[in-house]
Amino acid sequence: MRIFRRFRENIKLFIWDYIDIVQNTLRYISISVSLFTLATIAYYYGYQQTEESALICKIIIQSSLIFYVIKYILSSIFSIHSFRYIKKNAFQGIMVLLIVVWFILSYIFKIYNHIDIFSRIEVANIENITIVLIQLYFFIMVLFDLSSIGTLFSKFKLGPGGWMIASFFFLISLGTLLLLLPEMTVGEIRFIDALFTSTSACCITGLTVVETSNAFTFKGQFVIMLLMQMGGINILSFATYLSSSFRGKTLRHQFVMKEMLKTSLHGTKPLIKEIFIYTFIIEIIGAIVLFFYYNYYHFYNESLLNNVFFSFFHSISAFNNAGFSIVEGGMTSPVFHNQFSQYVIAGLIFLGSIGFLAINDITHNIFRRKTKQSLWSRLQIMTKLSVAISVILILIGAVSFFIFEYNNVSAGSSISDRICTAIFSAVSSRTAGYATVDHGLLTTPTVLIIMLLMFIGAAPTSTGGGVKTSTFYIILKSALATIKGKKEVTIYNRSIPFNLVDRSYAVVLFTLSLIFIGTLILSISDPVFSLKEVMYEVVSAIGTVGLSLGITSQLSIIGKTVIIILMFVGRVTVLTLALSIVRRSIYTNYSLAKADINI
């Protein structure tokens, strides 16, 4: 051990003047290797391969893994404090160890050739899956390890709103390029349809112009699932988490997430990690419940792997309020004509719609030491608002649906089925976009109620869209306070600052303006559809809900482009507007003379 340590120290002394050059060289080589290897992976899975091309791709991928092992070893050896480096990059070290173990098992013991379970996997062999997962991990890690990227953003002076827009733009563009690859679709797909699908998945909307179950292969459906996950948790959350895990300079990422989550800068890093934990635990539990149910009754498929993917896809889609389904016909399919799966998916949708901060607050208070106060009294005001308003909106929607559709789409069903359909429709109509009945057959009062639910949407910091429940409630309380002649807007014996009231009005006015503009343009570009159909589509897009009266796939190119823009704006603008106001607020020590205007 002493000999090794002395040898290492001698090498450090010998190359001391070149350490920075070596580290920078390794970093730039790492970028090149990552980009080239990811391009190889995209080519491998996106195009049909011959034996020779598949072998070349496999060699490139495996060579990149060897490079990362060598890079980690060299970085630890030539670090000033080697053991501190290993401790700081423990997770990276575990991944390197897994790569080494994988190579030993694969090429020395040939273990994959002797385990029968690996030969039963229909999608791709376990070796390629392992390579892709590890390589994607290292690629993301390297991207967020580069100070040059942070410098680039600093030059453009992007604020939190700019980061938000840029992250979704990047994710949508990447998703579009992946979905355009030949192996992602059963047949050819137009660019506008790939862009529409990618935007809908990233913005967790659920509107589709092609049938997800028939138009996309397993690879394409897997890409859509990843886009939903990245769009739901938000790619900036991934950036913050990865940066805080693998870098010391995380202030820029944490500042953005502080503004997004409305928390303290000190509490941002642990909160992001808790968001990841809650998200994956809920999604895994949901997937397990769906898997055991469908695998036991064989409602979906006889294949074990297909049932696993089916369960994870719909669990991720439901929790992220995305509304995508890999079953033909979606939730209207007989596969979902059972109360158990509808209640499970509705539960996942509800958890995703109340917001990460609410889940965090509820979880912390449940596991806190017992006190004389009830759980509800210990919750934060924002959590109480999120849960209470969500429950009230669901009750209003469910009762309205039950009454107005009793002798319409629910005719002939049992009372329990009618109640289940009403509850599911109310939960899904706020944010998710799943539909167990054909919304084109709904009565006009039901359509109006659903449009209101889509407009209000989910809670802040959630995976849902809309103007947000808190925004709607603040405006409602503000209007009541004005009518009653009160000077303050109060919630739970707390006064609401007038700047929040002003922002709430701005968000609602801006959203209504977009709905009007979108409806106007669609009425001109697609005059064959009625005003009700067009407005329903526009509100669904701006609220990132995903419900439709059946016109999405029939829209013109202009119409699809408008919906794409509305989905993107609906996902990022409400938050971006608030952040921009915070950033650009200018306070003065004087005020202008007041003018009296009739209202």
Per DSSP, the residues of 66-78 read HHHHHHHHHHHHS
Residues 6+ apart with CB under 8 A from 590: none
Question: Is the whole model's pTM more than 0.85, yes or no?
Answer: no
pLDDT (tens digit, 9 = 90+) per residue, 552-568? Answer: 989 999 999 999 999 99
Which residue pairs from 276-281 have beta carbons closer than 8 angstroms and sit at least 24 positions apart in sequence?
276/233, 276/237, 276/241, 278/356, 278/359, 278/360, 278/363, 279/232, 279/233, 279/319, 279/356
Phi first, then psi: give them for residue 491, nearest 5 degrees: -140, 125
Give the model's pLDDT for residue 401.
94
The proportion of the chain whose per-residue pLDDT surpasses 70, expressed as a percent, equals 74
Give the model's pLDDT for residue 462.
81
Strand partners, 489: 496
Residues 6+ apart with CB under 8 A from 324: 200, 201, 206, 208, 212, 224, 225, 228, 313, 317
pLDDT (tens digit, 9 = 90+) per residue, 264-323? Answer: 444 556 667 777 788 889 999 999 999 888 877 666 666 777 888 889 999 999 999 888
Q: What is the mean pLDDT of residues 374-396?
A: 87
Q: Domain residues of the chain, as ranges?
A: 1-145
Give the model's pLDDT for residue 176.
94
Q: How far apart are CA 390 and CA 438, in angstroms?
A: 24
